[in-house]
Amino acid sequence: MRTARNRMAAAAAGLSVVALLAFASPAAAQEVKKATVWGDLGFVTQDMLNRAAGDGNNFLHPQHNYAQTRYYPNSQINTSNVHKLRPAWIFQTEVNETMEVAPIVVNGVMYVTTAFNHVYALDAATGEEIWHYKHKMGPITTYCCGPNNRGVAVAGNRVFMGTLDAKLVALDAKTGKLLWETQIADPELGYSETMAPIVVEDKVIIGTNGGEYGIRGFVKAFKADSGELLWTFYTIPENSVGEWRETDPMGRSLNRDIQAEKAALEKLGDPYEHLGGGVWQTPAYDPETRRLYFVVGNPSPDLDGSIRPGDNLYTDSLVSIDVDTGEYVCHYQYIPHDVWDLDAVSPPIITTVKDENGQDVKGVLHGGKLPYVFVHRADDCSLIRYSEPMVPIENLWALPTPEGTRMLPGANGGVEWSAMAINPVLRYVFAANLHQPMTYHVESTPYPEGKLWLGGAFKVIPGEEQWGNVTAIDYDTGRIVWKVRTEQPMIGGLLATAGGLVFAGEGNGWFKAYDAASGAVLWQFQLGAGVNAPASSYAVGGKQYIVVAAGGNVQLNYKRGNDIVAFTLAD
Amino acid sequence: MRLPQLLLLALGGALLAAEVRAGEDIEALAEVCRGCHGDENALPADPAYPIIAGQEFYYLYVQLKDFRSGLRENETMQEVVADLDRATLKAIAQYWSEKPWPKTAFTASEEEVQQAEQAIVSAECTACHLSAFEGNSRVPRLANQQPGYLEKTMLDLKYKRRRNSPNMMALFKDFSEESIRALARYLAAL
């Protein structure tokens, strides 16, 4: 029989059980995470990858989504509250060297890479380390512009990374254990990887570095479960000569000596074998048409055109290929027979744009070293318009000379490899720019079997003013809407959000939030090392974060560091 | 070259010729290198000879190959490696790359540092040689290298006496001798 005491005890027990349950539910939620609308914990489905543009919790691609808009669809952090943004956590990697990584986040797990190919999996809410993979680097690595890495691709329960010794590795997403690795190409000849790969269904797709070493560039597709090579698209066709186009997209003369080039072609034959044409950054993908869009880097050797006659296809071009077969669909070459290393590097963006008649069409945007934003039709790669120039142009297309010719933009010009971002509501594209005056020197040397081969040198002009911009351009008209100057040339990339913000970092350590509509600086934070990587965003437990790497940069010699820093709103 | 080195070289040459294809007994081969280049405990015999202990493996290997083929010209080195096979060159490069870099005490003046820093900005050296000039793989370490060797090498590249790095030749072409000297002192003192 229940005494009063027992009843009270029972009641107390009952209460405490209830209390326990109440306090326990967060813990219980952690232990038993249910499958979300977007998929099981950790497992990245193709559906998730396809729908990433609408995903305001994860950050599944280096440019957020296949279209590469870098537009984050979460407005919890917005123009009215961003002034309350403060660090949530700091993770310090083992590698104190340049960082160019775009963090990937899958259901609260963040994946970042470092220079020299470490991968970390971190708890995105707390910054604590889950696992750490160190690539066993071979003795031969080749890179012109820093031992950096731009990040991983995720699909299924795997994480993929390209390495400086030209390998593609697949890791188990839960444990970081190596599942397979494959040699993409021979590093002794100048091939290596710094880009983040892309996964489409059963294929991991990756380009290559090496345009400074006389490679023959490509995009390759490997089987995601085994690393077996599926197809190769050479960015340099065997007939690389093209149509002998003598002008840039604006109609200005490139000062080519077609006679001399044709004579050289007679003598030397088609230069395709060592013509360069790396693909530096992740391709965009259109699941509707099943086409990849990417931009191709400079011809080899960078400055000396005398031994590579012809247009040098498809260097300095936007190219589209079929994802299933790797076959060519269309291209647009920005600079035929480039001798200034003004190659196409910044990752292209697929979005709806207005054509010449004001009609909406599927378009592709690219920001060049030639400092314009180019707007193309996606179906045939043709150019619709180009923007106003974003940084000064001087003495354009003056040919390099042995003593050195000053020309603007310098070879790190315009947008360089920095990722752009769009706000599709405003229909603006945002770009980080460089103004870094240089002289171009040419000196002809024969192919040096895998050594650095610039055909001359670029010299930064010491004592001359350098600076940068964050520029917003209306891509339906090409007009510059706003432009904010920065103290130093910018390199890294931008993130735009549905909160009406644009996040951009600078080499002096400042990480800033701009108002997307006006360019007003609404928030900034000093990170202590160059912020030369593009930011990502994600949400955990309903709280939005902005995360960025601060490790400096090799090309511009910004202060090195080893931090990943996540920010969130103060309570 | 001084007499002791010549003798050592002759001895070493004989030794190498005998051991050539075996690629074994790297220690014996290394003795020959030591004669001129020193090791982890001793600086090279001459200010114009490079420290090789702790240098990047792939860079050392490529230099040895280039000496052997004549792409990089140096009478002494060409003799040393003339009959060595690939495996042996790799082994020598591997051996030295695994040693620690010797302790050095080179200094640079304030003026030299300033001049050097300007040159470094202009040529973007750290893009390949990395921020502490520690090098990696095919790109050599320059930090704490002998200033005499650095100066000689940069001048050799400038005047096209050293021809196995076309890119470096183009880069130094219009560097003044003065700034090369400053750069050499700066790098040695890092």
ipTM score above 0.85: no
CB contact under 8 A, B121 and A462: yes
Looking at the predicted structure, is the pLDDT value of residue A11 above 60?
A: no
Burial class (CB in 10 A: 0-12, 13-18, 19+), A337: buried
* Chain B residue nearest residue A553, CA to CA: B127
- The packing angle between helices B177-188 and B110-123, to 10°, is 100
pLDDT at A42: 79
DSSP letter string, A97-108 = S------EEETT
- Cα–Cα distance, A272 to A312 (Å, whole number): 8
Residues of chain A contacting residue B57, judged by C-beta atoms under 8 Å apart: 139
- A12-25 in b/e burial notation, b at 16+ Cβ within 10 A? eeeeeeeeeeeeee
Closest Cα in chain B, distance from residue A213 (Å): 10
pLDDT at A104: 98
* pTM for the model: 0.90
A16 touching chain B per CB within 8 A: no
For residue range A140-175, what is the model confidence (pLDDT) as tens digits? Answer: 998 989 999 999 999 999 999 999 999 999 999 999
CB contact under 8 A, B58 and A452: no
pLDDT band at A36 (very low <50, low <70, confident <90, very high): very low
Residues of chain A contacting residue B58, judged by C-beta atoms under 8 Å apart: 139-140
How would you classify the pairing of strands A118-123 and A405-407? unpaired
- Cα–Cα distance, B172 to B169 (Å, whole number): 6
CB contact under 8 A, A140 and B58: yes
Looking at the predicted structure, is the pLDDT value of residue A212 above 60?
A: yes
Q: Could you give the angle at the alpha carbon of A278 between the alpha carbons of A323 and B71, nearest 5°? A: 145
Q: Indicate the residue of A141, A445, A557 with minimum beta-carbon distance to B126.
A: A557
DSSP letter string, B39-60 = BTTB--SSTTSPP-TT--HHHH
CB contact under 8 A, A451 and B126: no
CB contact under 8 A, A555 and B136: no
**Selection from A390, A377, A368 nearest residue A249 by Cα:** A368
For residue range A476-519, what is the model confidence (pLDDT) as tens digits? Answer: 999 999 999 999 999 999 999 999 999 999 999 999 999 999 99
A444 touching chain B per CB within 8 A: no
Residues of chain B contacting residue A448, judged by C-beta atoms under 8 Å apart: 165-167
pLDDT at A567: 98
Contact predicate B121/B111, CB 8 Å: no
pLDDT at A25: 40
CB contact under 8 A, A445 and B166: yes
What number of C-beta contacts closer than 8 Å exist between A and B?
Answer: 83
* Chain B residue nearest residue A164, CA to CA: B137
